[in-house]
Amino acid sequence: MAANVNSDTCIGCGACVDTCPVGAIALGDDGKAGVNADSCIDCGACVGDCPVSAINL
């Protein structure tokens, strides 16, 4: 399982990118966050730091 970003809610602020301890999140060409499921360790750090609650596990 990996974190999932709701692209309709994501505002592309990058808070989750900075929070991820394994670098599994990056902003895409569309300016929205995306999670690399192979790298995600399901720690939940990004969930708590997203200011618009766009991420869930």
What is the extent of the structural domain holding 9?
4-43
At residue 53, the pLDDT reads 97
- Residue 55 inside a domain? The answer is no
In-domain check, residue 17 = yes
Residue 16 burial by Cβ neighbours in a 10 Å radius (0-12, 13-18, 19+): buried
- Number of structural domains in the chain: 1
What lies within 8 Å, CB to CB, of 21 at 6+ separation is 41, 43, 45
The reply to whether 51 falls in a domain is no
Kindly report, residue by residue over 1-57, the tens digit of the pLDDT. 799 999 999 999 999 999 999 999 999 999 999 999 999 999 999 999 999 999 999
Q: Where are the beta strands (DSSP E) in 1-57?
A: 4-5, 25-27, 33-35, 55-56
Residue 49 domain-assigned (yes or no): no
27 found inside a domain: yes
Question: CATH number, domain at 13?
Answer: 3.30.70.20
What is the pLDDT at residue 39?
Answer: 96
Residue 38 lies in a domain: yes
